[in-house]
Structure 1
């Protein structure tokens, strides 16, 4: 859990955090050969100014060590918080109690629970998993020692990852369109190969399928040396779907046409397939199988997707990587009809998350693949979505393979102090929720999710606070200690001294807690609980003085994309404008002589470029609506009417916009919604 500033900015919950956001919406359209410029005055509303109250949840922490406990977490009876290092146990009238730091509720506690150690960072695991984890740690230590000895003896850097035994399925489009040329000429040593695409001048050029085969064979070579125990398999699809497994004929299986319309039968056949063996043993067979692929007719992408997920789902934390150059046009999930089966892709998303499968989609540029439907499976399962040149397939495959899944069935709960609320970018007027629960599915060590928080209006939580104060006027009277004589509040002496100095200076500190529930690769249910405190300031300049600009920049891009995924284009544009204004104001306050770090300069340049491009893209989509429908669908938004009618209107708008969104726009949207702090600092 990482904060954008060393201070929480307490703006008082009043209008000081808001500004008028009235603007002309200008749209250009060409009707009957004449350019028309239409202006619409937006309804005057208050829009919140952006600030530094941003939290970054970095799931790489799941690979880091934490204090482990097999005990059950002690939970507050009122709010979702878990008892942590911030709370002490006290006695009152012969009762053992503890007072929640988040909602001030006084809770009873048993003697055994009181003896449990409480740390800032805790990992709660089942008792049996503790023993299994210790055995795995011992085996890993022995393997590491053996690896180090081999490295010392042989010299050079050791990059072999023998621990990765996950399932990786390449699901490959071999439909007729994959024979199309790419403009890349076949090398002279291969000019006599008849599989290339011919041309009138006698030269031969590589087809999309040729380049895909080359990229896959290169990946086979790398995986064999770097991740030898990965279980690599191949599924091909055209009009038919075939599981080539790891090249072993006894494991291969196909889907007949009648199966391709029944998702239950597809899943049954997939579950019945045998998993591929480790690539260190199967690479030669797989290379022959890949080389023997030939283009055929239609694109049964939907059946191939579900079939692949069913196979990969037999082992937790597996990956499916789809490479295609066209939309699904046969079998279940076909997108070529007037009523495309978008619901099918929601079903596949849920099914993949249930069994810990991450799906990535590589769409070959030049064709429409309907990424709005296919891409949301990758988005929901935390895979990658990208439109790529055939010549870039190798690097894209490498990037996807390198991302290690560290948790599946992930749910996070963010708990704030009762005076704070979690901001919902889709409902900014709701200032009531001091906790937020979110299902994420799969996460990699690089996955990041950002959250904003704010201060409730003065008096919003006063009633609860006063009630709890009367229940325990005296507060904690007697602290207990654990059996090992550690205080339950185990902060070092120098930290306690700093906290005392802050109290004397009148600095208020508020608690924050992050709970991550997830399933590891061994299918054990684990719970990570991280608790910390943050001092508050009422001065915006103090909060912004040491602001983490790359973190705020990544949050700005990710949040804008998340709003647009709900097809709220006008709201997404407002968010982009608000974030751009914040960065512009900060740079103006700091002046031209301010010494930015190299990472900050790169992040500022990238966020400006991302938000500008995304704003233009959303405007172009609204202009296209105006040309095709005679109106901007956001014009239907209204604060009037019942909640039901507003939800219905927004749902209709979402359905219409999903149908008309172009692949390039969808790809950027999905990529931006996965923006991370490290990626915003990467030079283009």
Structure 2
């Protein structure tokens, strides 16, 4: 866990005002009373000649100093924690490992280095519940609490691994998972683009031809680097053709079948892909070379069939390549009185959730200059932790290569963040002090950020406690289907927003969180709230830069915010809709990760001259 601030800051409110408890509030929020006028003493009556010197006048009253002079309060909530999930699922390091954990019966917090027990009773440090713990002395079984704390019995930080003794699932190596190439072969794929030639004059290549070249290169790379991996091909135009590994007769879905969700799923799940790329390379290569463009765009049914095909192998990937808006079958984008846009959005959300639950990652690649309604289709990649990008004939091969080689480190990942009672999580559903996030599949770059705040009625209580506990419980399945729970627990000191500038800050956490938060709000259609949050985040980074020098690597986060600000300026106040280019940038910002700790950027550039590079 990486925190944006070294301290938990009490007193922040969503409206930007401060609340620091009843007593402190009276001192800080209420203006101090005016200084009474200075009254000079009357001169003494002299019986003799008064002295020639003028009477001594007291010095002027110094100006009233308000307690807020220590600096302005943060413009945005600085209570942010970053979870680099891609690193946390790596359990190859020398961490303490145990077979079981003891958890609180109320808030599910795990017994840790911060916990204390008296007479077999553990009072949970998060919710205060008294938990009776069986010491296991009579039956000779080791105490669960002892097992939980054998590594670190006391301190302010612990990091423990719990391994389930047996797995309910059959052994499966993620090396044998499936990569599904879902390719648009509609009539619009015949559009040509001028490309430079190494020898001779420039030539023209169609979108489909560029995809065919890219797929041949991807198949060759997979054959060399992952010969035991399964690869399948699905194409779509007026109909959906499932070629599988290329060795069997294709399964074709057309007409009424394109509107039946359950039928498509059952048919695709039943279509087996038994062979690996080492056995099917030549067959798939020939299928790719034989593709031709014609017809409409049944994108929705093809995506559904591809996910169903891949769902048999958790950790699989679907790479969707298209250049047009879905106009036939499920997920049809063209609005009609009988098919409102909410139904379209629901289809893609439902499919994304089903893919995530099945352990399938979807990446979406669209061609520059086309209108694919990426704000909807991109949800497939957003929910499943896949890639979203726009390509052209010269870049499609590299993007397909990246998407096909993404290494899935863990599946069925769930993160539970436990905070003390009195802490809540803004912008998250519910008001509990325990936050649960279903993450699904995880690759190396996955990083999520969470914002938390202190309820006003708990401010004084927390200030007296001086420190607060936080715990992350990360459950997941490894590549060999081993079920693991990693529990990280630590304490953080407490301060008020008026004293926050004496703390230390992690600009990387704040920058990534600003990108995640504003992009998420925008994709949800809450553009005005996203704009408000962006302004607050920009002011916050400016405030921090005045407190300490900004490192050169930290400027990337300001560039991200400038990019979003420019996009917001272009959004119509009436429609609040996103162009494909703007949607691409927002989806990329949602999966942005720290450039300072990873020495890389997410490939997002600042928007200039009306375009985003």
Matches of 2:276 and 2:554, distance apart in 1: 40
Aligned pair 1:563/2:521, yes or no? yes
Shift, 1:524, TM fit: 5.1
Provide Cα deviations, 1:498-546, integer angstroms capped at 9, x if missing partner: xxxxxxxx99332110112334445554332221222334476766654
> Per-residue CA shift, 1:569-597, capped at 9, x if unaligned?
1111111111111111222233xxx4x5x
Measure how far apart 1:246 and its partner are: 2.2
CA deviation profile, 1:546-580 (whole Å, cap 9, x unmatched): 42212211111111111222211111111111111
Partner of 1:152: none
Match 1:615 to one of 554, 565, 575: 565
Q: Distance in 2 between matches of 1:413 and 1:5?
A: 21
8 Å Cα contact 2:269/2:309 also seen in 1 = yes
Q: In the TM superposition, what whole-angstrom CA distance separates every residue of 1:62-113 from its partner, at most 9, and x where no partner exists?
A: 1234433332x3221332311122213321xxxx111212223321101133
Q: Any conservation in 1 of the 2:426–2:453 contact (CA below 8 Å)?
A: no
Deviation larger for 252-261 or 539-548:
539-548
2:161 counterpart of 1:123:
yes
TM, length-normalised to structure 2 = 0.78
Paired residues for 1:254-403 under 5 Å:
254-275=252-273, 277-338=275-336, 339=339, 340=341, 341-403=344-406
Question: Quick check: 1:556–1:576 contact (8 Å CA) kept in 2?
Answer: yes
Q: Which runs of 5+ in 1 are unaligned?
A: 21-46, 137-161, 192-202, 466-505, 626-655
What is the aligned partner in structure 2 of residue 424 from structure 1?
426
- Does 2:533 align with 1:583? no
Change beyond 3 A, Cα 1:320–1:131: closer
Match of 1:644 in 2: none
Give per-residue Cα distances to partners, 1:168-200, cap 9 Å, x unaligned. Answer: 1110011111111011256769x9xxxxxxxxx
Separation in 1, partners of 2:349, 2:324: 19
Structure 1 or 2: larger helix share? 1
> Which position in structure 1 is the counterpart of 2:7?
7
What is the DSSP-based 3-state SS (H/G/I as helix, E as strand, rest coil) of the residue aligned with 1:171? Answer: strand
TM-score, L = length of structure 1: 0.71
Q: Structure 1 residue 58 and structure 2 residue 84: aligned?
A: yes
**Higher mean displacement: 672-681 or 447-456:** 672-681
Q: How far has the Cα of 1:380 moved from its partner?
A: 1.2
Alignment-derived partner of residue 177 in structure 2: 166
Which structure would you say has the larger Rg?
Answer: 2
Match of 1:105 in 2: 129
CA contact (8 A) 1:70 1:130 kept: no
Aligned to 2:59: none
Residues 258 and 179 of structure 1: CA distance in aligned 2, closer, same or farther (over 3 Å): same
Determine helix, strand or coil for the equivalent of 2:321.
strand
Answer yes or no: is the 8 Å Cα contact 1:379–1:670 preserved in 2.
Answer: yes
Pairs aligned (count): 527
- The 3 A distance-change label for structure 1 pair 383 and 215 is same
Contact 1:9–1:543 (CA under 8 A) maintained in structure 2: no
Asked if 1:661 corresponds to 2:578, the answer is yes
Contact 1:316 1:521 survives alignment (8 Å): no
Q: For residues 513 and 578 of structure 2, what CA distance do their matches in structure 1 show? A: 24
- Worse overlay, 357-366 or 544-553: 544-553
**DSSP 3-state at the match of 1:336:** coil
CA–CA distance in 1 between the matches of 2:428 and 2:364?
Answer: 27
CA distance in 2, matches of 1:579, 1:345: 31
Q: After superposition, what is the alpha-carbon deviation per residue over 1:287-325, rounded to whole angstroms, capped at 9, x for unaligned? A: 222111111211111111110001000011111010000
| Native 8 Å contact 1:123 1:526 kept in 2 | yes
Counterpart CA distance in 2 for 1:111 and 1:270 is: 52
